[in-house]
Structures are given as C-alpha cells and as structure tokens.
A and B are shown apart, each in its own frame.
Chain A
Amino acid sequence: MVKSAVTVTNLHYTYPNTTTEALAGVSLTIQEQDFVAIVGQTGSGKSTLVSLIDGLIQPDSGQLNIAGMTIDATAKASQLSKIHHHVGFVFQFPEQQLFAETVAEDIAFGPHNLGWSEEKIQVAIDRALMMVGLPLELKSRSPFALSGGQMRRVAIAGVLAMKPSILILDEPTAGLDTQATNELLTLIKKLNDNGTTIIMVTHQMEQVASYANRVIAMNKGTIIADTTPQQLFSHPDDLINLSLTLPVSVEIAQFLNNKGAKLTNTEPLSLEELADEIVKVMGRKR
C-alpha cells in the first residue's frame, strides 16, 4: 500500500493586511514518492500552499498532516519547526541564501539546526556534495567564490544534507542554462526514484510533462485540476484560460491533428514520443 506523505484538508490562509484569501479551501493528498508539479499563474496560491506544507506559515483554518504530525490553526511554533526534520524547501534562486565562510559550513547549517551530531553532519555534507555532483575539494572554499551554477548546487546540497523525505522546490531551474537545468532535473528525478516525495512549483510545461506523475493546477487560491500531465494537456482550452502553455510536443501534435493528421496520442509528453507517433501515422499511410 502506498502511504500518504502529505494530507491537506480544507486549508484557508489570508496574508496579514490583505483581504482576499491566498488559499480558499484547498484539500489534497500527496502519496509517498509522488512527483507532483504545481502550476498556476503568479498569485494563484502555489507558493502559499508549499509554504504551509513546510510549516513556514500557519493555516487560518483547516488541517495538515505531514509525516505523522497534525498542524492546524492552534499548532505551536515548536510543532511547526519540527516539520523541517521531514520537509526540505529549495527556494527560488536558493544561492541567495548562502552566508557561511566555507561551503562545508553552509551545508552544515541545516543539519546543525536539527541538532545532529558532528560525525553525522560530516557524513551528510560529503553525501550532499556528491549528490549534487560537486567535488569534495570545494568544501573549504568560500561559497561566494563559486560560479552561479555551483552556488545553486551548494544551496541545494544544504537542503539535501538534512535528508528530507519530502522535498519542495520552487522553480529550481529559473535562470539556469539548458545543461544545468537538465542536470538538476535528473538529480531531482533520481532523488524521487530513491524514495523522496517531490513537490515542484514550475512554469515549464516541458518539465511537468517529462518528470511529474501528477500535476496540480491552481487558480485564485483553489485547486482547479489535480490529475496526470497527460489528462491536463488533453484539455488545452482550460490551460489557455489560466495563461498556461502546452508543452511543445503536445502543441505540435494537436496542431497536426487540427490539420487532419489523425495522430492517436494527442498528448505526447516528449519530442521522442511525438516523433514515434508521427512515424506510426506515416507508416499507416504507406
């Protein structure tokens, strides 16, 4: 049986000094080892939802179950901070949160806060650096002397060192070049294969298509779709209403079908799938 990692029941949240609800009654269950993509326009409540899941803000009403803990409007701050033992959060442009004199010290910050022993921390640092593909020699270097891409990896290593069973990423690939983007997504996929539950906020539909097994679309503080990427892309009009785009492969397939191509799979999740589909149709014709 698959266990649920996060259960959210009827969550409401309003930011101080604002009148509109940032989250207006959100319920969802995320299974262990899910790779969930959250999509939606700016201000749709994506960031609010993931902040709540990480215990960074407290719900006004509703309930959250994370790793056996229950968080509601009456939860204490100490309860909220316990969530960080289980949930890791990679913020947008995480390299902007680096502060320590050396890479090792910066990565050790999280584990240290969790109260781990010194030996355990040292092991975690090496492991995290290897996971993000950085050489161990960097440990004694200043994080500010590294390149932008390396800084981001150090920052991600700082989160991975805490061994989160649930990892939240807020647009982790923003501002990275193609190669770095692919490397990072491969890393996230590998973590997911090894049992980490992934919740990724993104605007890149290609990433949703090729990595997520589940996609949640949000609008105005509510969930409007909670389904597989394939299902979501089969209703392109809904997406366009939310100013979201289709992945290129789906767009081409649907364009071809509108021109009378008769592809059977109108939601190929990658260009390879699209190519196979086209070959199939062309084969039929011959």
Chain B
Amino acid sequence: MTNKIVFGSYVPVKSILHRLDPRIKLIMCIAFVILIFFVNSWLTGLWLFLALLLAIKLSNVAVKQYWQGIKPLFLIILITVAFQILFSSGGKTYWHWGIMAITYDGLINSLIIFYRFIVIITASTVLTATTPTFQIADALAWIMKPLKIIKVPVNQITLMLSIALRFVPTIMDETSKIMKAQRARGMNFNDGNILTRIKHLVPILIPLFVNSFKRAEELATAMEARGYDPNAVRTHYRQLTWHSRDAWAGLGLIIVVIGLFSIRIFF
C-alpha cells in the first residue's frame, strides 16, 4: 500500500559511492560503526559526523531521502532517549518524581545514545542506499571467507543470505496482497484497541508463513532438480574486482581513523 522509501532500500542513482566495490563499502561501514563507540568528546563526535556528511554528499542521494528512511525509526529512538533521560541517575539532579529523575548524567548519556543511533542508522543507510542487496551479500561472503578455516559453512550461509534478500520484495508484495484480500472480507485494520489490532495480524501472518514455507519447499526441490550440491566448490557469476578508487576509499577510512585518535590524544 505504501510504496515509500523504506529503511534499507537501494536508491539507483549514479555516484562515486555507488561505483565503489561493495567490499570496501561494507568494511568502511563496519569500521565506522565501531569508531562511533570511540567518540568521547564534542570534537570527536563532530569529526565522525563530518565524515558521514561527506559520504552523504558523495552518495548523490538527497538528505531528504535519508530522512525519510530514518523517520519510521525516529519514534523508537525518541522513546529510548526519553527512558535514558528519565531513568538514569548520577550527577546533578534537576527534577525528580517517584523513580523518575532528570540528572546531568542522564542527559549526557541520552545525548550520546541519540548521537549513536542517528549516526549508525544513517551510516548503514548510506551503505544500503548505494549498494544493491545482492552486492552486499557478495561482500559479506567475501569477508566471511577466512571463517572457512574453522569449518564455518560460509557457502551455505551466503546462499541463505542471498535467498533471504531475494525474497524480501516478494514477501512485501504478498503482504500487501493478503492485506487487501482480508480487507475485502470486511477486516478493518484501524478499528479497536491494541489487543484487537494484534489479533488482526493473525489473518495476515499465517497465510504469509504458509506461503513462505511452500515457496521454500518448491525452491529447494527446484534447486535439487538442477543438481545443487551444498558442498561443491562454487564460482560466482558476479566477479568483484578491486579498482584504484577502492584503494583511495580505504585510504579515506584510514584518514578518518587517524584523525579520530589524534583528536582523542591531543585535545
């Protein structure tokens, strides 16, 4: 029903970030998320924020579109922040009522949490907006390769992942179809209290589950019929090649890391 830009969807435009190798993008995104936890001052926070702004600028995707992606999650963030403000203690107390209190530490903590939420979500949205899901799956497969040594079934995990990603749009379509069908049978989603609204999920989730299981079974049969062997050595249709621009991106990441730790040490 709503075809709005959802959190994590790919935006097909042309940009430097779109052309980068998904592996370096994934590494940068993971590294960035880890770096967020090293933020300990206004300056370090600002430094990473600037790096993120640069990435947004390079992605050629409008800030408005990022905001639309984050908006649905904003309520959850606000609730978390509100809890953090009201229920953490320490430092100077400004206001209190029962077990709730607004304290200096609470405010600082909530600010940090707010910052982390927004920056981490935006950073991962930059990744998903500039990288089609199948490329992310390829990149993940590449990163997991070393795990083969400790007998992790990397191939199977990769296959599961790419199948799961492949069926996300299918299942979304199906959800709206089933919702329509149940509405045609007189179901009213906007009626009643929370309990009846939760009950309303049953006629949607059950067909969705049943159909997904059926589809999985059919897919498995079709793969076996075509001789799929989970333990065989697999080659890839899409080959990832490393370009000089990817090396430059890696260098950019190193600069961000060095910058962050220099600020931490010297300021």
Seen from chain A, the residues whose Cβ lies within 8 Å of a Cβ on chain B are: 15-18, 51, 54, 56, 77, 81, 84-85, 88-89, 91, 94, 96-100, 109-111, 113-114, 144, 158-159, 162
Contact = CB atoms under 8 A, between A and B. Distances in A.
A51 B1 CA distance: 12
B4 A113 contact: no
B89 interface: no
A110 B185 contact: yes
Interface stretch (B92-100, B148-156, B173-181): B173-181
Interface string B170-190: 000010011011111111101
A99 to B, nearest CB: 4
Interface stretch (B38-46, B138-146, B202-210, B248-256): B202-210
B235 interface: no
A51 B176 CA distance: 13
A91 B4 contact: no
B239 interface: no
Contact of B180 (A18, A91, A111, A113): A91
A94 B183 CA distance: 13
A136 B206 CA distance: 24
Given A17-B4, A94-B181, A99 B188 contact: no
Instruction: Kindly name the residue among B1, B178, B186, B202 whose own CB sees the greatest number of chain A CB atoms within 10 A.
Output: B186
A261 to B, nearest CB: 47
Contacts, number: 69
B241 interface: no
Given A51-B180, A100-B203, A109-B185, 8 more contacts: A18-B3, A81-B188, A84-B183, A97-B185, A97-B207, A110-B185, A113-B186, A113-B187
27 contacts: A15-B3, A51-B180, A56-B180, A56-B184, A81-B183, A81-B186, A84-B184, A84-B186, A91-B184, A94-B181, A96-B174, A96-B211, A97-B185, A97-B203, A97-B207, A99-B202, A99-B203, A99-B206, A109-B203, A110-B185, A110-B186, A113-B185, A113-B186, A113-B187, A113-B188, A114-B186, A159-B185
Contacts of A77: 190
Contacts of B244: none
Nearest to B2: A16
A162 B186 contact: yes
A113 B196 CA distance: 12
| Residues of B contacting A: mostly | helix
B183 A97 contact: no
A269 B49 CA distance: 71
B207 A99 contact: yes
User: Can you list the 8 inter-chain pairs with the closest CB atoms, starting with the nearest?
Assistant: A113-B186, A89-B184, A99-B206, A110-B185, A97-B181, A17-B3, A84-B186, A99-B203
A242 to B, nearest CB: 25
B241 to A, nearest CB: 34
Interface residues of B, number: 24
Contacts of B174: 96
A98 B185 contact: no
B46 to A, nearest CB: 35
A77 B4 CA distance: 21
Contacts of B2: 16
Contact of A56 (B183, B202, B210): B183
Identify the interface centre among A56, A111, A158: most chain B CB within 10 Å of its CB. A56
A88 B183 CA distance: 11
Nearest to A94: B181
Contacts of A88: 184
B210 A144 contact: yes
Nearest to A83: B184
Nearest to A143: B210
A258 B67 CA distance: 64
B181 A98 contact: no
Contacts of B3: 15-18
Contact of B4 (A16, A56, A94): A16
B68 to A, nearest CB: 11
Interface string B24-65: 000000000000000000000000000000000000000000
A54 B3 CA distance: 21
A158 B185 contact: yes
B207 A96 contact: yes
A77 B206 CA distance: 25
A17 B1 CA distance: 11
Contacts of A18: 3
A114 B183 CA distance: 11
A98 B207 contact: yes
A96 to B, nearest CB: 6
A18 B4 CA distance: 11
Nearest to A114: B186
A85 B186 CA distance: 8
A89 B181 CA distance: 8
